[in-house]
A and B are shown apart, each in its own frame.
Chain A
């Protein structure tokens, strides 16, 4: 970018540098250091779905590619496959492996696989500060000699070692480190490289991946080679397998392990002790059978306070009540009325279902402050390393629902925005789990906007009202989850998750992540808001809206025992359940609803589909069919539960 005259071949050649490494080793921090703050760093560690690219600040014509963390090759989960694809499809001029200095064995195991690709390789051993406090001592010079690549100790969070890293990248060359596999495999590899010639990484490493039943390389060969060659290498693999009792994958892995073991035992001067640091002790406390729960309660309360009280209360009041309600909206309505003479257009822009007065006001004044605070607190929580521990703590509950503790992540996110949380289900391992969690999110997890309205209404009656609402929704969540897990074919996958050490989050990383998520919100959610509002406007203008409201009356009055006016609120609830809740809020303020009616209405509307946006995202993420199926199940179920609750409350004589 800055330097035009460079003689180094690396700087002059076009291409990218891929950041590859285990999850949670600091790839994103190094990415930020190399590219500068303006780069889009998105998604969660280990949950990245798409790669992030950025221009390097100090390397000319170089794009840095941040990849999702990969535990090992061949990849298993969706996000790991993304990384494998980057290695095969991106025009790479170098790989920068980021490793954890305190876990040398794991790191070198991945290095050995990357070195085989014969691309220029640099290893950044990150988090040397943590390694030092734990007494881990690595002989970097010797490691360098063994691997024949530059090994740079870094503490990326403080910027230590980034300079050396850039220098090393400029003169990086492929590693000369080679592992010798059993003779049969070596012969097959030689055969493989005469057949498959078009390889971005070395034919040897592609062959090894292919022999290890790697789906990504198998797909690559099928796409880039003739069908004859594909069939040949397939039979080559089958024949090779005949020479071994164990799967090829295990044989290859064992060979690598032996090499890694010899390198590690030579270069790891001291493996340190697991002496109880404050972080480690705090970490153990969070998963402790007894103390884990009070810690969880404290974390939940902190989030509730930040999102519910500060975000949904103070900030929304300031923005919606004052800025939009008193200043911005009157001014814009006035402006539109003066500039545009056509009443229908005026109504479309600033009317009851106007693009600005409903769509944008909702998106910017009501939801934006809440999600901003939520994204920030979630960013802090995610950088602290608490979330994987939450997965361990809640695993038992999710077992009942045919899931494992990992499902807690999207569920927690759902309290902020169900639409966003539906995307987060990508971190779950199987299709079945993703579908189950999506269903529960759509049915029983109220998003922050709605939670604010519901809490406000119920707290106005009594604590008992809040308690009834909470228990009924929780009960439905558990019952439906339990039932769905038994109806949906497939097996539950047991939990296996790494618990990273607790760390203090860095401000810059939280800010960059929050901004990236807000950008997503602006790009994907706001258009959906506008489409929804336009739809309401069209139904209102054509008279369909009032017809639909009339049609819904028997259900609302007869079954739910609510006043007729509530039909309109429920119809709004189809679009966004907090829309509907707001309508009911107005009715309560007018004294039209009894305590029992408020509780029945709130339970019913909470169990509705969250919003139009979430339906569209479910259709996009899962399938149109499952989105339709969920709607067919959820709406009648919500009304059924509401009606039953109404009868129970009447029978026991509560809140009439």
Chain B
């Protein structure tokens, strides 16, 4: 749990740096307490639990078609210049606006791995 907080703090800082200039998305849960893919530090893994209601239907369908289905583990590779993630053997590049519409959770198992 301590480790969890530590990591989470690091991401929050990173996220703030990234978001200073952008205020484009309205439904992004970054003001709420929900954890999103944008919060996961590079090199770490998280489990996908769902998508924000604000995410366009086509984009949601695309993400699912790329293999981003709930319950699966996603590895974050980098956040700059864009977010790059790996799911199964697919690598996806997306803007942070998309990443922060993807809800994730961190299980102890993922941290151990």
A-to-B contact residues, CB < 8 Å: 22, 71-72, 74, 76, 100, 102-106, 109-110, 131, 134, 136, 213, 247, 249-250, 253, 257, 261, 271-272, 274, 283-284, 287-289, 292, 388-389, 391-393, 395-396, 404-405, 492, 494-501
User: A392 to B96, alpha carbons, bound, how many Å?
Assistant: 12
Distance, CA A308 to CA B16, complexed state (A): 44
- Do A392 and B82 touch (CB < 8 A)? yes
Tell me the chain B residues, 2-25 only, with Cβ under 8 Å from chain A: 24
Interchain CB contact under 8 A, A71 and B62: yes
Q: Which label, helix, strand, loop or mixed, suits the secondary structure of the A interface?
A: mixed
Q: How far is the CA of A253 from the CA of B69 in the complex (A)?
A: 11
Which residues in B have their C-beta under 8 angstroms from that of A257?
64, 69-70
Write out the residue numbers on chain B whose beta carbons fall within 8 Å of the beta carbon of A274. 75, 86, 89
Contacts A110-B65, A287-B84, A405-B93 known; 8 new A-B pairs at CB < 8 A: A100-B89, A287-B78, A292-B81, A393-B81, A495-B94, A498-B66, A499-B91, A500-B91
Q: Which residues of B contact A404 (CB under 8 A)?
A: 95
Give, as a whole number of angstroms, the nearest-CB distance from A127 to chain B: 10
Cβ 8 A contact of A249, one of B57, B69, B95 = B57
CB pair A496–B89 under 8 Å, yes or no, is: no
B95 touches A499 (CB 8 A): no
A71 surroundings in chain B (CB, below 8 A)? 62, 65-66
**Which residues of the partner chain B approach A271 to less than 8 Å between Cβ atoms?**
88
B77: min CB distance to chain A, Å = 7
Interface string of B75-105 (1 = CB under 8 A from A): 1011011101010111111110110000000
Q: Most chain-A Cβ atoms within 10 A of its Cβ — which of B69, B70, B84, B93?
A: B93
Whole-angstrom distance between the alpha carbons of A494 and B92 in the complex?
Answer: 13
The 10 closest A-B pairs by CB, nearest first: A72-B65, A392-B93, A494-B95, A499-B91, A102-B89, A76-B58, A494-B97, A106-B67, A289-B80, A496-B94
- CB < 8 Å: which of B77, B81, B90, B98 contacts A103? B90
Residues of chain B within 8 A of A388, CB atoms compared: 93
Q: Which of B44-75 contact A (CB under 8 A)?
A: 57-67, 69-72, 75
Assembly CA distance A495 to B94 (angstroms): 5
B81 to A106, Cβ gap below 8 A? no
Name the interface size band of chain B.
20 to 34
A395 lies within 8 A of B95 (CB): yes
Decide if A392 touches B84 in the complex (CB within 8 Å).
yes
Supposing A106-B67, A287-B84, A393-B81 touch, asked if A249 and B61 sit within 8 A by C-beta, the answer is yes
Q: Give the distance in Å from the alpha carbon of A405 to the alpha carbon of B75 in the complex.
A: 22
The residue that A495 contacts in the complex, of B60, B80, B95, with Cβ under 8 A, is B95
B61 x A72 contact (CB < 8 A):
yes
Q: For the complex formed, measure the closest distance between the CB of B97 and the CB atoms of chain A, giving whole angstroms.
A: 4
Which residues in A have their C-beta under 8 angstroms from that of B89?
100, 102-103, 131, 134, 136, 272, 274
> Chain A nearest CB: distance from B57 CB in Å?
6
Contact status of A498 and B90, CB under 8 A, knowing A274-B75, A289-B80, A392-B84: yes
| A289→B79 CA distance, assembly (Å) | 9
Q: Can you name the residue of chain B whose Cβ is closest to the Cβ of A257? A: B69
| Set A105, A292, A396: member contacting B67, Cβ < 8 A | A105
- The chain B residue with its CB closest to the CB of A272 is B89
The smallest C-beta distance from A351 to any residue of chain B, in angstroms, reads 54
Please determine whether A106 and B90 come into contact, CB atoms closer than 8 angstroms.
Answer: yes
Q: In whole angstroms, what is the CA distance A277 to B71 when docked?
A: 26
Do A391 and B93 touch (CB < 8 A)? yes
**Which of A74, A106, A213, A494 is in CB contact (< 8 Å) with B94?**
A494
Given A287-B93, A395-B95, A496–B84 Cβ distance below 8 Å?
no
With A72-B62, A76-B61, A253-B64 known as contacts, the answer to whether A498 contacts B91 (CB < 8 A) is: yes
A274–B58 CA distance with the chains assembled, in angstroms:
28
| Chain B contacts for A109, CB-based, 8 A | 64-65
Residues on the B chain within 8 Å of A100, using CB:
89
* Contacting pair A496 B59 (CB below 8 A): yes
Question: In the complex, A498→B71 CA distance in Å?
Answer: 21
Report if A496-B92 is in contact (Cβ < 8 Å); known contacts: A106-B65, A253-B64, A395-B82: yes
Q: Which residues of B contact A284 (CB under 8 A)?
A: 77-78
**Inter-chain contact A496/B62, CB cutoff 8 Å:** yes
Q: How far is the CB of A407 from chain B (nearest CB, A)?
A: 13
Distance of A278 from chain B, by nearest CB (Å): 15
**Also in contact, A72 and B64, with CB within 8 A (given A405-B82, A494-B98):** yes
- The complex places the Cα of A289 from the Cα of B24 at a distance, in Å, of 23
CA distance A641 to B82 in the complex (A): 34
- From B58, B81, B93, contact of A289 by CB (8 A): B81
Pick from B65, B69, B91: contact of A261, CB under 8 Å: B69
20 examples of A-B residue contacts, CB within 8 angstroms:
A22-B65, A71-B66, A76-B58, A102-B89, A105-B88, A106-B65, A106-B66, A109-B64, A109-B65, A247-B57, A249-B57, A389-B93, A392-B82, A392-B84, A395-B81, A494-B98, A496-B59, A496-B92, A496-B95, A498-B91
